[in-house]
Structure 1
Amino acid sequence: MKLSSLLHHHGLTSNFAHDPEISSITADSRNVGTGCIFVALKGTKQDGRHFIPLAVAQGAAAIVQAEEAGQHYPSQQTENGHTALIITLPDPARFLARSAALLAGPQPEHIAAITGTNGKSSTADFLRQLHQLRHEKAASLGTLGLISDVSLPPLPSLTTPDAVTLANTLAALKAHGVNHVALEASSHGLQQHRLDGVAITAAAFSNLTRDHLDYHHTLEAYRHAKLHLFEKLLPEGGLAVLNSDMDGESYQALCEIATRRKLNLRTVGATGKTIRIVEAIPTPQGMDLTLQLHGRTLPSLHFPLPGRFQAENALLAAALCWDDDKEAEAIINLLPQLKGVPGRCEPVAHLPNGACAYVDYAHTPDALEHVLLSLRPHASGRLIVVFGAGGDRDKGKRPLMGQIAAHLADEVIVTDDNPRSEDPATIRAEILATAPQAKEIGDRKKAIQTALAGLKEGDVLLIAGKGHETGQIIKGETHPFDDRTITATLAKELA
């Protein structure tokens, strides 16, 4: 594609005498070659403008950078015998995402983006499963990577991949005949415009609670980043699905956006108008659900996973799945066939005395509260929790998580999560400040082993915080550590 054509797609005109052929675009100078546009983005740790000379020397056809008031920019730059055109724009990140999508090619026809503090991974995976149960080729992208019934290279372990990777992956899925995609939309990805080139047709919002304040600083800014999905990226008239039981301020803002933009609004939950949970009775293998669809009570069904929050995520997925309301009941009837998502309230060990252990990704106060409340009905004995908190992240949630654990669990063991560059003992102390009766065992494996050894008949153990992760980050190094495998192995040794 000629540079002039690419600029035309953005409503821009080209005044350059030279009109190079563009074959790729990147924000990573290491990937620059002939025919490439290098977009110099300013990140939290590095400024892409520092790499412009390197990108030009490697043969970049053009450089895109942010314009700043009062600054004069040359029309081109030469390095090592190579000359690149210089383009200044108010929003280079948006240009990157939209251009990457244009260069990558067509995307799947149905792309649902799911946002919220908790539940994104489960909802995306459940939606993929529902499509596949309907014999439709489908994929999910997010924290768990790329999961599909077609074979493609793995994605980086980010909730929302970078814009170029995302565009190329979507185009590859389309080329392989996949037309239904469920995509996690993180607040970071939304604020950094990584999804601005995605042809989203539906969007869901699970909930909003405290998280990522180290990045967004305030809950209002965090909410605003997530609302961008419904305010700007979902086209007018698109499908919006909400958990009606989320906080009132977020719910009201979403309803106002839906009304103003004429979105097709569906709500689920205890107060949902599309799918309402009338009753959820815990059972040893999950729960029995009584639901209403548009006010009509449906026959009771068995949902095979523990935790009401998992049922809520499954209903979000179901409401995203149908185009015609006539299909709704048939899709809801598929819920008993759903399988659990790795590291999401996942049962990983059963002891001979009837005690059991679960692993969950809960790493926010709200998520920890929900999973503990969900597991309580399954514990005829005690409810024990082992957890920690990540380093280099929002410190304010640590005492909140300690308080919740102390209030909802019968026994608490505070251990290390991913301390990263912080002192692990300091992180534990901040949690223990509100859970003074908790045991402190820094070594995570020893903490799990101690908890398992103390389990009695009817006890339930929750190991929270890392879920599906297979590594523990300490002082910049990732050490192999999988809560699920370690817990299962230790339980077998005890048995």
Structure 2
Amino acid sequence: MVENSLADTERELRPRTAPQIALNEIAQAIGAQSSRDVDGVVASGICLNSRAIQPGDLYAALPGAKRHGADFASQAVAAGAVAILTDHDAAARLENEGSLPAGTPVLVAQDPRYAAGIAAKFLYGTTPDAPAMFGVTGTNGKTTTTYFLRSLLGAMGHKTGLIGTIEIVADEEVIPSVLTTPEATQLHGILARMRESGVTAAAMEVSSHAIEYRRIEGLNFKVAGFTNLTQDHLDLHGTMEDYFATKARLFTPEFASRGVVLIDSEWGERLAQVARDAGLPVVTLSTASAAGAVTADWTVTAVERSGLGHDFTLTHRDGETVRAHTGLPGDFNVANAALALTMIIAADVMPLEKLQQLLDAHDPLSANVPGRMEVVGHAPAAIVDFAHNPDAMVRALEAVRPGTEGRVIVVFGATGERDQAKRPIMGAIAARGADVVIITDDDPHDEDEQTIRTAVLEGTTNEALSMGAAAPEVFEIFPRAQAIKEAVRLATPADTILVAGRGHEVWQEVKGVNLPLDDRVELREALAARHDGGIDHTSVGETAPESPDNGTAE
């Protein structure tokens, strides 16, 4: 059942009309040597997963964390693979074992992961402008910025595509999303699928995992954009320096034609310089509140609140201006909108006067982004956001505070088997930024839920104890749906409820089992029950036993 599902998903990540490319041409394109004559052998796809093989595929057998893909080469051939692409040692082992059917070609490459991406590029016909790609990386803001980009590109008359955390879209067709950034072989297949649909421009999230695991091999972005860099994914990268170095790889001529970098932080300033040193043309952007020693090419000025969102002006160092509006709450969404707009300007595809007319007529920077500062209710205001790391938590809390007449109530947890150091940090941030803190579960994966909550609670409680009379109320309530109900029960019409951490996600992984859970649905239902008089006003869930002397429940 799982194997069928993987094969079905793989099929969706490819063009409907499979290419037919001679294997010897692919071998020549990637500089691979073949174990035997491949004349007459034709490939119609390429795949890294033996369980997702389609008939006619070239199977890329790559080293993995625990097993080598060559261990599954015979299964891949049985499923229809016409040849194997792998490294020298694995090819020798396959030859010695004799595990492959007689006559199975094996292509040998010095760097098979790189070769797989280039082979996919050649096989599926990827070019820099078919479609034109706009890539966004950074710790926070990638998803929102790509949605803004897609909205801008659509307003400009493009048929658009989107590749990201929430979904993959080719024009109006939604394709199942498997990773923030799919594997290189899948990406090139998706781009071919987009060309079939007439897509001329696409926006894509480029995660640090995608760069580290080389999922962007063979791609070149028309413009690459950088949002910010804050603590996250240190379980993969180890240090912030390594995290930065991974992000910086995108900003080279190999992967981009030009870059747009938000330089509101030292990381951004460094990245702009590193990219220039690598030979990449770079446009810099800053927000007026964060402008530092380095003068940016474009600066966000004249920011004014407008409803839940903001009006702002983008001002160039030579005096040119572009006026814009975003309907999404939060100063950080002004930065996301400004980055998307600057990336379009940097692409040099439309005069500023015409771009201004487009902005005035279509308001493209107010595009709805599922689970990103998504407003699901009023009186009390109720917002769901993906904030799942310290910086994102700060930004989300700062975004809701100015428009809240009453209290800010935050519901959040921490993900299991991920960067454990950020748990007490996020707990402390919640204590400083909210009036009521409800700690609950996120995705525990295979880790003990209580252990995770305790680490978050420690940070919250320690910070609350140092705040005296200003300390928030702190509760530990689980399961998560119950915590959301309690937040609604506690809220007055003047309060704001922020449910943070999961955003658009609709499954909660617990001990290997995916349980249905959508924060937006739970929040809407709790609000509906409140307005219908159906909220249970009895005590909900669990809290820590005693309140400290300052009146804060632990």
Normalising to structure 1: TM-score of the pair?
Answer: 0.91
1:22 Cα deviation after fit:
2.4
Tell me the matched-pair count: 487
Q: In the aligned structure 1, how far is the partner of 2:435 from the partner of 2:23? A: 64
- Residue matched to 2:16: none
**CA drift at 1:388:** 0.3
Q: CA deviation at 1:155?
A: 2.5
Aligned pair in 2 of structure 1 residues 121, 375: CA closer, same or farther (>3 Å)? same
Output one character per residue of 1:254-311: Cα deviation in whole Å (capped at 9) or x when no partner.
Answer: 3232244142424243337333122323344212324323442747654322101111
Structure 2 Cα separation of the partners of residues 255 and 267 of structure 1: 13
2:276 pairs with one of 231, 251, 258? 258
Deviations 1:308-337 (A, max 9, x none): 111111111111223338623543562844
Preserved contact between residue 77 and residue 86 of structure 1 (Cα < 8 Å): no
Aligned to 2:64: 43
Q: Which amino acid aligns with 1:112?
A: F
TM alignment of 1:45-124, pairs within 5 A: 45-58=66-79, 60-67=81-88, 78-79=98-99, 81-107=101-127, 108-124=130-146
Share of identical aligned residues, percent? 34
Q: Is the 8 A contact 2:35 2:106 kept in 1?
A: no
Matching of residue 267 in structure 1 with residue 277 in structure 2: no
Q: Which amino acid aligns with 1:54?
A: Q
Query: Paired residue for 1:456?
Result: 492
Matched residue SS, 2:85: strand
Question: In terms of mean alpha carbon deviation, does 135-144 or 12-21 score higher?
Answer: 12-21
Paired amino acid for 2:445: R
Counterpart pick for 1:306 among 329, 334, 346: 329
The whole-number CA distance in structure 2 between the counterparts of 1:24 and 1:229 is: 26
2:309 match: 286
Q: Give the counterpart letter for 1:5 in structure 2.
A: E
Contact persistence 2:145–2:337 (CA under 8 A)? yes
Q: Supply the RMSD in Å over aligned alpha carbons.
A: 2.5
Q: Please report how far the alpha carbon of residue 160 of structure 1 lies from its aligned counterpart in structure 2 after TM superposition.
A: 0.3
Cα distance, 1:50–1:16 mapped onto 2, change above 3 Å: closer
Deviation string for 1:325-360 (max 9, x for gaps)? 862354356284422211101111113xxx201100
Matched, 1:198 2:219: yes
1:344 equivalent in structure 2: 372
Structure 1 position 416 matched with structure 2 position 441: yes
| Corresponding residue number in structure 2 for 1:465 | 501
Instruction: Name the amino acid aligned to 2:262.
Output: N
Offset from partner CA, 1:33-90 (integer Å, 9 cap, x none): 6543211122335432321232344453332223459x95566874474432333333
Summarize the alignment of residues 225-236 of structure 1 with structure 2, pairs less than 5 Å apart. 225-231=246-252, 233-235=254-256
User: What do the CA deviations read for 1:414-470 (whole angstroms, capped 9, x no partner)?
Assistant: 000111111111100000111115210021111111111111242111100000111
2:42 aligned partner:
21
Paired amino acid for 1:440 = E
Aligned partner letter, 2:377:
A
Over 3 Å counting, the alpha-carbon distance change for 1:412 and 1:320 in structure 2 is same
Residue-by-residue CA offset, 1:178-207 (whole Å, 9 max, x unaligned): 110101111111111111122322101111
Which residue of the other structure, out of 397, 400, 407, is the alignment partner of 1:382?
407
Q: Letter of the 1:85 partner, please give it.
A: P
Question: Secondary structure of 1:420's match?
Answer: coil
Alignment partner of 1:2 is 2:22: yes
Q: 1:314 to 1:391 in 2, by over 3 A?
A: same
1:483–1:31 CA distance, 2 compared to 1 (3 A): closer
Is the Cα–Cα contact under 8 Å of residues 258 and 265 in structure 1 kept in the other structure? no
Q: Secondary structure at the match of 1:378?
A: coil
Cα deviation 1:97-142 (Å, max 9, x = unaligned):
1211221234524111111111111111100001111222111110
Map of 1:241 onto structure 2: 260
Shift of 1:493: 1.1
Is contact 1:373–1:408 with CA below 8 Å preserved after alignment?
Answer: yes
In structure 1, C-alpha distance between the alignment counterparts of 2:29 and 2:230, rounded to whole Å: 38
Partner of 2:398: 373
Mean CA deviation greater in 454-463 or 320-329: 320-329
Deviations 1:223-259 (A, max 9, x none): 2221111125334xx221111113x145313323224
Partner of 2:18: none
Amino acid in the other structure paired with 1:156:
S
CA distance in 1, matches of 2:323, 2:187: 40
Instruction: Give the TM-score of the pair, scaled to structure 2.
Output: 0.82
Note closer, same or farther for the CA distance 1:81–1:494 as it changes in structure 2 (3 Å cut). same
Distance 2:212 2:322 in 1: 42
Conserved 8 A contact 1:282-1:306: no
Q: Structure 1's 62 and 302: CA in aligned 2 closer, same or farther, altered over 3 A?
A: closer
| Counterparts of 1:148 and 1:23, CA distance in 2 | 21
Which structure 2 residue ranges, 5 or more long, are not aligned? Answer: 1-20, 465-473, 532-554
Aligned twin of 1:426: 451
Q: Residues 73 and 21 (structure 1 numbering): CA distance in 2 closer, same or farther, change over 3 Å?
A: same
Kept in 1: contact 2:326–2:337 (CA 8 A): no
* 2:384 equivalent to 1:359: yes
Which residue number in structure 1 is paired with residue 188 of structure 2?
Answer: 167
C-alpha contact (below 8 Å) 2:377/2:527 kept by paired residues: yes
TM-aligned CA distance change 1:51 to 1:457, over 3 Å: same
Contact 1:282 1:378 in 2 (8 A): no
Q: Does 1:129 align with 2:151?
A: yes
Q: Does 1:149 align with 2:174?
A: no
Question: 1 CA distance for matches of 2:396 and 2:167?
Answer: 23
